[in-house]
Amino acid sequence: MLVQDRRDELLEREQAHEQAYVSNLYEHLDGMRAYAEKRLSEVLLERGGTPQARSERESFTHLYSDDLAKYDAAENGLCFGRIDLVDGERRYVGRLGILDEANDFETLLLDWRAPMARPFYLATTAAPDGVIRRRHIRSRNRRVTRVTDEYLDLDAAELAGMSTADGGVGSESALLTALNAARTGHMIDIVETIQREQDAIIRSEHKSVLVVQGGPGTGKTAVALHRAAYLLYTYRQQLAKSGVLIIGPNSTFLDYISQVLPSLGETGVLLSTIGDLYPGVQATVEESLRGSELKGSLAFIDVLKNAVREYQRLPDAAIPLRFDSYVVTLDRKTVSRARGRARSSRRPHNLARPIFITAVVDALADQLAATLGENVVGGTNLLSRDDIADIRAEMRSDARVMAAIDELWPELTPQQVLIDLFSSPELLAAAAPDLSPADRECLFRNDGQFSGSDAPLLDELAELLGVDDTAERERARRRWRAQIAEAQGALDILTGSAPQDLEDELDPEILMAYDLIDASQLAQRHTVGSRLTTAERAAGDRSWTYGHVIVDEAQELSAMAWRMVMRRIPNRWLTVVGDVAQTGDPAGSSAWSRSLEPYVAQRWKLTELTVNYRTPGEIMAVAADVLRAIDPASEVPKSVRDTGIKPWARQVAQEEIAAETRRRLQDERQPGLTAVIASHADVAKLADLASDDVRVTTVRDAKGLEFDSVLIVEPKHILAESPRGMNDLYVALTRATQRLGVVYSGELPEVLSGLRPLN
């Protein structure tokens, strides 16, 4: 008892010491915030000035606004750890770096991504890396609430009166505390509890495709997000310009992870689903499983090519066109030659259109010239080349001529082609002759809306069509010349404002503003685009290429979706996160090599996470039977904890399913979030069970998420709903962090025989 009292007294003293240190850190953070707020206010109050001055104000506005966002993000849990080294040095670790400017810029707090902070995550009793003690500091509202020590040196632990039984030697108490905490509906960062195998992936130097394969609950998503924060810290200059894109499986998932990167001080990352990755288009309808499979296949590229060619028409009969007081004839032979010339250029449809127009107009102009300039006596054409050139120019501006040409080779948009394709049985039959009538019926839709599976098709069509931006580029050139002229005028004023006699006396080593910047640089700084963040500019530009791309639940991407992703990352620097055993989409992948090697050959690296931090051992024992049915050779991720709560199954009559589910939600109500997971049809019947702490969801929408409790309703319906129903059931079983139950009618699937029957 005396020993325990002594330990408690020592712990209180240590907690008070850490409170003093943390309070000092917050004083510095407040000072940094006050300075940024002051400078931002000063910048915002400034008005007028030269273009250069206005551009500099915009830059400073972004700078101080970003700083304030970073400081606000670090407010909660600013400092979360400390390591004591054998040489007596102490290093405090937190969400951002803080220096003491009044004391030779001494490091008060290490950013968790800094190399010197890495022993906090890597040190173990077997390989302490010079660390004697690792301290976890938990706080709330700037108050230190708990201090937990892990001694990595047995001699030091013994001197402190600690032992393995006390939980102070190599303890994982901080990790287990985080794992057992109730869920809030948003993922929290794991910056305080990153484990050794996770840290190795987060800081990996691999510069091609890094695949993070891991079973349910192994922290794949958290690792990917922390890797994004680490890369932005390490390669700030490179990635600040090109940006980082994170692709998730659905909007619910993106909302779930949305607070992680801001909590780590990173706000400039673009989060998107595949369905929303095409600018200006949102996925508003859900695709059928067969439709998703058809659209995700590379074979659909030929369907799109055929659809585009259907717009490159030949007239059924000659088309008479009145031009001035004459009639010219646009016949099938003329159009065929023009079409052949345009197609042989191998340019995209819209970029080949000017070639088609030129060929048709030339033929029509020659036809009219033969009529106008015919010399009946000598049989020679009396019109000059300039006369014929004038006829061509007039024809290009003639509404009737251009309308006829537009009918034969129209300018197209991806949206227009795809809407036409799926709403016209005739066009679909012509473009996809190899598809069965049932498959074509599956694709038919006349609502003018798009699904997530349509986005890769729109992206492919954008490549097939191209954008004829000749006119827009000319307008941009005119705007640019005007901006340069304005900037040069400003520099001329600056140059002329300096008195000549003063200029003669100035030291030639002293640089003036006009010595540092020319007109084009000044104009560039003042372009509208510079006012947008990298993420904002990237989101609106289909041709934007990113510095790094992270794909979560990547096993769900179809072959067409991978084409879309790879266009946005030509340097092929990606982090790919997923688990092929959880692939639910029929168009998804069952092997990473199949998805990646067409783009990077063998230049991809597989890493694996093997420890399950989410799912208790009791639930994983049931899920393991399902995993073995999917792939007998698969390794079940090892759970770090058991809860002592056995998952159960309750059988009722079919008409009692909804009522029984409601009873179970009420009788077993626990803190945190509960998910009711069912097939699409059953979700519609159970929708009224949803509340603030109960989600009623399909497996597809639950993918990547986690809940304290999970109720699976009618698992046989989940199995029957998809060709990969077993994968979906595996996903459903592994969403729970604490408790799992199954409500069913009829027979329980054999793979769930490990569930405890509940009477």
Render pLDDT for 210-227 as a digit per residue (tens, 0 to 9): 999 999 989 999 999 999
* Residue 379 pLDDT: 54
Q: Which residue has the higher pLDDT, 3 or 401?
A: 401
Tens-place pLDDT, residues 292-314: 999 999 999 999 999 999 999 99
Q: pLDDT confidence of 189, banded at 50, 70, 90?
A: confident
How high is the pLDDT of residue 463? 97
CB 742, CB 714: distance < 8 Å: no
DSSP state of 398: -
The pLDDT assigned to 547 comes to 95
pLDDT higher for 516 or 467?
A: 467
Q: Highest mean pLDDT range out of 481-490, 500-509, 592-601? A: 592-601
Q: Where are the alpha helices (DSSP H) in 205-310?
A: 220-234, 236-242, 251-257, 260-263, 289-296, 300-309
| pLDDT for res 552 | 95
pLDDT tens, residue by residue, 378-399? 556 667 788 888 889 999 999 9
The residue type at 192: E
Least confident of 73-87, 146-160, 491-505, 677-691: 491-505
| 704 class by beta-carbon count within 10 Å (0-12 exposed, 13-18 middle, 19+ buried) | buried
Categorize the per-residue pLDDT at 592 as very low, low, confident or very high, splitting at 50, 70 and 90.
very high
The position carrying tokens 């530009």 is 541
Quick one: pLDDT at residue 169? Answer: 43
For the cut 70, the answer to whether the pLDDT of residue 414 exceeds it is yes
Is pLDDT at 478 greater than 90 in this prediction?
no
Rg (CA), the chain: 33
Question: CB of 555 within 8 A of CB of 589?
Answer: yes
> Does 474 score more than 80 pLDDT?
no
pTM of the predicted model as reported, rounded to 2 decimal places = 0.82
Percent of the chain surpassing pLDDT 70: 85
Q: Which amino acid is at 51?
A: P
What confidence score (pLDDT) does residue 498 get? 52
Residue 234: pLDDT band with limits 50, 70, 90: very high
Q: What is the pLDDT of residue 277?
A: 95
| 696 membership: H or E segment, kind and range | strand 694-697
pLDDT, mean over the chain? 87
* Range 318-326 average pLDDT: 89
pLDDT for res 165:
41
Q: Hey, which residues does 710 pair with through a beta bridge?
A: 675, 740
Residue 136's beta-bridge partner residues? 81, 148
Q: Confidence band (pLDDT; 50, 70, 90) for 170?
A: very low
Question: What band does 182 get if pLDDT is binned at 50, 70 and 90?
Answer: low
pLDDT bracket for residue 549 (50, 70, 90): very high
Helix, strand or coil, per DSSP, at residue 651: strand
Q: Which residues contact 564 (CB under 8 A, 6 or more apart)?
A: 274, 277, 278, 455, 456, 459, 460
**732 vs 344: CA distance, rounded Å:** 53
- The predicted-structure confidence for 242-274, as pLDDT tens digits, reads as follows 999 999 998 988 988 888 888 887 877 999 999
Predicted confidence band of residue 376 (pLDDT cuts 50, 70, 90): very low
564 or 323, which is more confident:
564
* Residue 469 pLDDT class (50, 70, 90 cuts): low
What are the pLDDT digits (tens) for 108-166? 999 999 999 999 988 888 888 899 999 999 998 899 998 988 888 766 655 655 544 44
Contact 745, 712 (CB under 8 A): no
Amino acid, res. 340:
G
Q: Name the phi and psi angles at 743, rounded to 5.
A: -115, 130
- The C-alpha atoms of residue 171 and residue 164 are separated, in whole angstroms, by 8
Q: What pLDDT score does 518 carry?
A: 59
Question: Rounded to an integer, what distance in angstroms lies between the CA atom of residue 81 and that of residue 137?
Answer: 5
Confidence of residue 317 (pLDDT cuts 50, 70, 90): very high
Residue 133 and residue 83 in contact, taking contact as beta carbons nearer than 8 Å: yes
List the one residue out of 596, 551, 573 whose CA is nearest residue 704: 551
CB atoms under 10 Å from CB of 427, counted, come to: 17
Q: Do 464 and 308 meet the contact criterion of CB atoms below 8 Å apart?
A: yes
Name the pairing type of β-strands 611-612 and 638-639: parallel
pLDDT of residue 485: 74
Contact 264, 191 (CB under 8 A): yes
What pLDDT digit, counting tens, does each position of 199-211 carry? 999 999 999 999 9
